[in-house]
Amino acid sequence: MKACRSGTKIIAVHSISHMAVDFICILSLMHSFGNDAQMIVLYNFCAFALQLPAGLMLDLLVKDRNDKQGIPLYAAIAGMVLCMIGSFTAPLISGLGNALFHTGAGMICMEQDEVNSFKGRGLGVFVAPGALGVTGGILLASTEWFSIVRIVLCALLALLCLIALSMHRHAEISRKPVSQSLHTDDLRISFLCLAAVILRSIAGTSLVFSWRNGVVYIVLSTLALAAGKAAGGFLSARLNVKKASVMSLVLAAAFYLVSDHPFFGLCALFFFNMTMPLTLYIEMKNHPDMHGFAFGLLTFGLFLGWLPAFYGICKNVNAPLPGAVISILSMILLVSAEALRKRNS
């Protein structure tokens, strides 16, 4: 029980850090280069695509179970420091910090979820606040509050660094021996999960609702998808990954079909985003000793799915029918990945 409480606190601290990191990164990027397409591509490459090599590097540095929390923690703290520095200097530095933080903190939360048998609940809680930070950064980047918000976020990140360090000695870790390897079936599962993430990213960046304009609807949309990410982990723990995938994505498809109405559109966002912790949970179980690779691969998928919309290949697509189709395809991919994982476990 004590270890479980410790794991909950660790995940909570890194979840708040996640929101603050994304907030300050997007705040500084949009304030300095909101209209510079090339800089936005470079930032997103640093922040998302580089999480894959960063994760592989951290996996290689983990030699035994005692490293499973220490090395990722130092990466996460280094990332937060870079985000603070980058907010005053160059957004690309923030992008590198973002990649380090997400990979390190993601590995920590995956380990805590695993050893405390949270069954994905910790993953949903960790990923959810990022959307709040992104929206906050976009909305406040061009306001007169920019400087004050940046200072407050830097102070919050500094405090969170200290708290994370102080909690490190209480972190619970698995006692099983470390075995880093990639097998053919493991890679097949990873490919299915990657495809699901790319589809989710395409949906999030390319599909639009006719009603989604104005600050109020942007905030409501952000709250819906953040709540969905958090709820997905709890639903998976309550049922299982397969049932949670089918339930959430069938409902998402149904609501997408009538998503021209704001309420149903928000419901579609809620249920569709439940899949984020489910995908992460499958990969966590698929690579129990390579959490850095598992986390980084999926964030690389987010970057790949963002590119078509950014370059206008598929942009501002009316959501109802494509959203429903993507939901069903995502369900097939996740159910297949989980079935293959169960068969091999």
- Each domain of the chain, given as residue ranges in start order, spans 2-168, 184-344
From CA 270, how far away is CA 234, in angstroms rounded? 14
Where residue 69 falls among pLDDT bands split at 50, 70, 90? confident
Predicted local distance difference test score (pLDDT) of residue 190: 95
Vertex 119: Cα angle to 114 and 120 (nearest 5): 95
From CA 17, how far away is CA 158, in angstroms rounded? 10
- CATH code 1.10.287 for 2-168: no
Q: What percentage of the chain reaches a pLDDT higher than 90?
A: 78
From CA 51, how far away is CA 146, in angstroms rounded? 28
Predicted local distance difference test score (pLDDT) of residue 144: 92
- β-bridge partners, 208: 318
The amino acid at 181: S
Instruction: Give the largest Cα separation in the chain, rounded.
Output: 56
Q: Is the pLDDT of residue 256 over 80?
A: yes
Closest by CA position to 137, among listed 19, 17, 26: 26
251-257, Cβ contacts within 8 angstroms, sequence gap of 24 or more = 252/323, 252/324, 252/327, 253/323, 253/324, 253/325, 253/327, 253/328, 253/331, 254/324, 256/319, 256/320, 256/321, 256/323, 256/324, 256/327, 257/320, 257/321, 257/323, 257/324
Where residue 81 falls among pLDDT bands split at 50, 70, 90? very high
Q: What average pLDDT does this structure show over 270-292?
A: 94
CA 115 to chain centre: 20
Where residue 22 falls among pLDDT bands split at 50, 70, 90? very high
Predicted local distance difference test score (pLDDT) of residue 182: 61
Predicted local distance difference test score (pLDDT) of residue 172: 64
Q: What average pLDDT does this structure show over 289-311?
A: 94
Predicted local distance difference test score (pLDDT) of residue 63: 74
From CA 287, how far away is CA 296, in angstroms rounded? 12
Residue range 163-174, pLDDT digits in tens? 999 887 666 666
Alpha-helical runs (H) found in the chain? 2-33, 37-44, 51-61, 67-88, 91-115, 121-127, 129-140, 146-167, 184-206, 215-238, 241-257, 262-272, 275-286, 291-310, 320-344
Strands 207-208 and 317-318: parallel
CB–CB of 130/16 below 8 Å? no
Predicted local distance difference test score (pLDDT) of residue 183: 67
Closest by CA position to 212, among listed 147, 145, 261, 254: 261
Q: What is the CATH number of domain 184-344?
A: 1.20.1250.20
Predicted local distance difference test score (pLDDT) of residue 6: 83
Residue 27 corresponds to which tokens in the numbers above? 């705040």
Which of the two residues, 288 and 255, has the higher pLDDT score? 255
Q: What average pLDDT does this structure show over 91-102?
A: 95
Predicted local distance difference test score (pLDDT) of residue 62: 84
Predicted local distance difference test score (pLDDT) of residue 1: 57
Q: What average pLDDT does this structure show over 300-322?
A: 92
From CA 148, how far away is CA 244, in angstroms rounded? 42
Q: What percentage of the chain reaches a pLDDT higher than 70?
A: 93
Predicted local distance difference test score (pLDDT) of residue 7: 87
Determine whether 35 is exposed, middle or buried from the number of CB atoms within 10 Å of its CB (0-12, 13-18, 19+): exposed
Q: Is 318 helix (H, G, I), strand (E, B) or coil?
A: strand
Q: Is the pLDDT of residue 118 over 80?
A: yes
What is residue 207's DSSP assignment? E
pTM above 0.85, yes or no: yes
From CA 58, how far away is CA 289, in angstroms rounded? 11
CB–CB of 224/263 below 8 Å? no
Predicted local distance difference test score (pLDDT) of residue 179: 59
Predicted local distance difference test score (pLDDT) of residue 295: 96
Predicted local distance difference test score (pLDDT) of residue 263: 96
Are both 2-168 and 184-344 of the same fold?
yes
Closest by CA position to 255, among listed 337, 326, 338, 332: 326
What's the whole-number average pLDDT of the chain?
Answer: 92
Q: Is the pLDDT of residue 284 over 90?
A: yes
Q: Is the pLDDT of residue 214 over 90?
A: no
The amino acid at 261: H
Predicted local distance difference test score (pLDDT) of residue 37: 87
Q: Is the pLDDT of residue 59 over 70?
A: yes
Residue 97 corresponds to which tokens in the numbers above? 């910090």
Q: Is the pLDDT of residue 177 over 60?
A: no
